[in-house]
Structure formats: C-alpha cells, structure tokens
C-alpha cells in the first residue's frame, strides 16, 4: 500500500483555505464586487461590511473566516502527527487511515462551522471538534512514543499508564 499520508498535509491546507475563498466570494457578491484587499482585517472595513451587508450574509462570512482561522490554527498539530507517524515508521495503512479520517472530520466540521446558525445546533460542531482532537492528540502521542522507541539510542521513552516521560539517556554532555 502506498503511503499517501504526506499528501494529507497539503490537502489539509487546501481545506483550511477553502472557507476563506468562500467568504471573500460571498462578501463580494453581497457588495457589488467590492473587497478591500489592501487592509481586509481593518476594523473600518469590517464596519463597512457589517453596515452594507445583510446580517445573514455577514454572519456566514464571519463564520467562514473563523473556520479558515481555526483550520490554520490546527494545522501544526496535524502536520506534527503525520510527520511523527512517518518518522516512527508506523503502519502505512494506519497512518493513511488516520489522515483520511481526520480530513473527513475536518470537512464535516468546516461545513457545520459555516452553516450552523443556532446555538443549540452548534454543539454538533463541538462534538466533531472533540472527536477530531481526540484522534489527533491520541494518535500524535502514540507516534511520539513509537518515535522514541525507534530512536532509543538518543532518547529514552518511559511509558506509564497515566503519563509519558521523556528524558535524554545517552546524549553526551559537554565537559
């Protein structure tokens, strides 16, 4: 089976950028093609958009931008998990499965983030986020432990039921 997990990294980046492209297209359509690309994060431009755009469109715009920012904020965690899994030489099937599942959850999360408008329904998004993070954090921790085992000469990893301790066991010290 080919290792496709590395391709999940640019795929994740595209998934993170898609809500931003959608948000700009949405707001331009609602403002006769106007978009201030010179300073799109200025509070003056935001006030202009808020006043000149229907509340429903502006709300969808801000949720899409928030989904975009959330994707970029979580990108390092995903990249770390994928790289650690590959460095630890974990099963290609397992790494590919993790990457595909995470990307799938990310798509669902992003769609919910943009489209959910009621507080009661927003907890579906939170549930997907928790599932996504549990998978990411748990898998990343497994990858780090396996990576530690694979590089035992430099780094010793002691796993315990409640915690994992990292210590340098055979690293030469300067004298």
The domain segmentation of the chain, as residue ranges, is: 5-168
At the top level of CATH, which class does the domain 5-168 belong to?
A: mainly alpha
Q: Which pLDDT score is estimated for 7?
A: 96
In this predicted structure, the answer to whether residue 1 has a pLDDT above a threshold of 80 is yes
What pLDDT digit, counting tens, does each position of 27-55 carry?
888 877 777 666 666 666 777 787 788 88
Q: Which residues sit opposite 156 in a β-bridge? A: 167
Separation between Cα atoms, residue 39 and residue 41, nearest integer Å: 6
In this predicted structure, the answer to whether residue 107 has a pLDDT above a threshold of 70 is yes
What pLDDT digit, counting tens, does each position of 69-89 carry?
999 998 998 898 899 888 888
Q: How confident is the model at residue 108 (pLDDT cuts 50, 70, 90)?
A: confident
DSSP 38: S
């Amino acid at each position: 089976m080919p290792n496709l997990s590395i391709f999940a990294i640019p795929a994740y980046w595209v998934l993170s950028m898609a809500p931003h492209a959608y948000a700009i297209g949405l707001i331009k359509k609602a403002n006769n093609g106007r978009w201030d690309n010179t300073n799109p994060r200025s509070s003056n431009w935001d006030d202009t958009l808020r006043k000149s755009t229907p509340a429903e469109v502006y709300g969808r715009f801000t949720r899409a931008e928030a989904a975009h920012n959330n994707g970029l904020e979580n990108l390092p965690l995903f990249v770390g998990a994928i790289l650690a899994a590959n460095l630890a030489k974990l099963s290609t099937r397992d790494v590919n499965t993790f990457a595909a599942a995470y990307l799938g959850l990310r798509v669902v999360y992003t769609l919910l983030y943009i489209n959910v408008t009621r507080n009661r329904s927003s907890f579906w998004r939170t549930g997907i986020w928790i599932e996504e993070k549990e998978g990411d954090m748990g898998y990343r921790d497994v990858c780090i432990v396996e990576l530690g085992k694979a590089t035992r000469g430099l780094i010793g990893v002691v796993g315990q039921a409640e915690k994992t301790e990292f210590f340098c066991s055979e690293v030469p010290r300067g004298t």
